[in-house]
């Protein structure tokens, strides 16, 4: 019985470790407080303006998810803004369209794009936060 418990506990640990990436960006819903905290900590930040009905947003998401799992982006904070419901936040960031991506290093905006679905250029944007 003791062996079975040890085996089961080990199996659960392996499964949980396999599910959780060891080094991946931190994804959060956008709030002004989360954004300010990431800026104050001088973190690399990606703001992803998303709408569920937007095919371009879904294409970007399919690119972003594996990209930000790369170890080089482990310190990045990804803040997702809902285009249809967070209008005040969008105005504060001067965003006019869904599928907008903005990268910051701390308080400095480094780049932004709207409608880009090129993995190479999106990775290039994210790489700017590492310099």
- pLDDT tens digit sequence for 1-36: 544 344 443 433 333 334 444 457 889 999 999 999
DSSP annotation of 51 reads -
- Reported as a single tens digit per residue, the pLDDT across 86-123 is 999 999 999 999 999 999 999 999 999 999 999 999 99
Query: What b/e readout covers 11-35, taking b as 16+ CB neighbours within 10 angstroms?
Result: eeeeeeeeeeeeebbeeeebeeeeb
Where do the structural domains in the chain lie, given as residue ranges? 23-130
Beta carbons within 10 angstroms of residue 10's beta carbon: 10
What is the mean predicted confidence (pLDDT) over 38-51? 97
Superfamily designation of domain 23-130 = Glutaredoxin (3.40.30.10)
**What is the pLDDT at residue 23?**
58
Contact 49, 99 (CB under 8 A): yes
Closest C-alpha to 92, from 33, 52, 22:
33
């Amino acid at each position: 019985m003791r062996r079975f418990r040890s085996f089961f506990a080990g199996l659960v640990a392996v499964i949980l470790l396999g599910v959780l990436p060891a080094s991946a960006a931190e994804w959060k819903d956008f709030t002004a407080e989360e954004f300010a905290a990431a800026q104050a900590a001088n973190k690399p930040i990606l703001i992803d303006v998303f709408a569920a009905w937007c095919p371009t947003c879904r294409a970007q998401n399919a690119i972003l998810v594996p990209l930000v799992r790369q170890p080089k982006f482990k310190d990045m904070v990804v803040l997702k803004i809902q285009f249809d419901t967070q209008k005040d936040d969008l105005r504060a960031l001067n965003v006019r369209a869904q599928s907008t991506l903005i990268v910051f290093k701390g308080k400095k905006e480094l780049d932004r794009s709207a409608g880009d679905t090129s993995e190479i250029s999106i990775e290039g944007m994210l790489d700017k936060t590492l310099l």
